Amino acid sequence: MDYREEIKQLRDALNEHGYKYYVLDAPTISDYEYDMLNRRLEELEAQHPEEVTPDSPTQRIGGKTLEGFASYTHESPLESLQDVFSAEEVEEFCQRMDEALGKETAYSLEPKVDGLSVALEYREGVFVRGATRGDGRTGEDVTENLKTIRSIPMVLPDKLPRLIVRGEVYMSRAVFEELNAQREIQGKPLLANPRNAAAGSLRQLDPKVCAERKLDIQVFNLQLAEGREFVSHQETLDYLASQRFRVIPHKMLSGTAACQAEIARINDNRMEYPFDIDGAVIKVNSLTDRVKLGSTAKFPKWAVAFKYPPEKKPAQVLDIVIQVGRTGVLTPKAVLTPVRLAGTNVTNATLHNQDLIREKDIRIGDTVIVQKAGEIIP
């Protein structure tokens, strides 16, 4: 067989098996078999370096440490969403949509991944650039680090002139707990939460370090597609799934009651997702209706993010100990029966100072309600 043909067959096979493993979670060959295919491709590319292309499966982890990140201007701004916090505000949003459009509005309802928003750009079906959201208009070019995320396809079945998609990069709870267990053994400071860990990993100047963090992505929006027309958000998500992206779980529905029920269902089942969530997003499905509704100076009018209140659980105070900070400040800390909150096990909570202990009359043996401030500090 001609070496060019073998290289093509190996790349196609590795892309196919990578998609089945990292996106579908349904591998059809063993890790060893995959590694052997990859090694053979590396050998052929070493023998014929002129055949190496940026989209080759062997090029996911660059060998060069970056000196810094270049800025990137988003052609389609990555807008933020207006937050709502109550059933009444959800009802008001749905009523506004129905009144503005003169009909019962159809929505897509999705979990809001607590991660880092990025844009991925493809030209002629090949991944060429990826950037963080930044302020929505200008972000940082983190292409080399995004290449290390195995669920991001390097090549797409369709070869549109240009395609830009938006997704949320995250670190799964399982990877986060594994990473913190390793750091504890090594005597390193523990990472605060999966979101901060993902953000820090994506901004590593050495792509090899980012690769070790095993980040993942959920794609949730089509920003730009040259040479293809769509009428609805559902249609764009179906198309992105056909292009081998890992697409955000979503439900299509209409009416305030259905939206409220789905928001509650997502919250009740939040630990079934591999990623942390901090809310649910309601989006108008029709793209024509979105254009009609437009945006304010800050937010699109056709979507809102319902933010869940912090999770609270009871725990018993087993002991009260004094913690010495790096600057010598003494802080009382409650040792608790373990409770699981926002995806992590909590065994301690700060009591701030003696005045707080006196004011709340906190004693060993008391049962207390524990929550995370900003889903970070108990």
- Mind listing the pLDDT tens digit for each residue in 76-98? 899 999 999 999 999 999 999 99
- How far apart are the C-alpha atoms of 364 and 321, rounded to whole Å? 10
Is the predicted pLDDT of residue 377 greater than 50, yes or no? no
- What is residue 378's predicted lDDT score, i.e. its pLDDT? 43
Chain centre to alpha carbon of residue 327: 35
pLDDT digits (tens, 9 = 90+) for 309-357: 877 788 888 888 887 766 667 778 888 888 877 656 788 887 777 777 7
Mean pLDDT throughout 144-150?
A: 93
Catalytic residue set: 112
Residue with tokens 């995250």: 170
C-alpha 335/C-alpha 323 separation (Å) is 11
Q: At CA 203, angle to CA 201 and CA 207, rounded to 5?
A: 75
Q: Where are the domains of the chain?
A: 3-59, 72-307, 312-371
Question: What does the pLDDT look like over 219-239, one tens digit per residue?
Answer: 999 999 999 999 999 999 999
May I ask the CATH architecture of the domain 312-371?
Answer: Beta Barrel (2.40)
Separation between Cα atoms, residue 360 and residue 26, nearest integer Å: 52
To which CATH superfamily is domain 72-307 assigned? DNA ligase/mRNA capping enzyme (3.30.470.30)
DSSP state of 9: H
Q: Between the CA of residue 66 and those of 74, 105, 134, 141, what are the distances in Å? A: 21, 47, 19, 11
Angle at 225 between CA 231 and CA 106, to 5 degrees: 25
191 or 83, greater pLDDT: 83
Options 1.10.287.610, 2.160.10.10, 3.40.50.300, 3.30.390.50; CATH for 3-59 is: 1.10.287.610
> Using CA atoms, how far apart are residues 18 and 25, in angstroms rounded to an integer?
10
- Residue-wise pLDDT for 241-256, tens only, equals 999 999 999 999 999 9
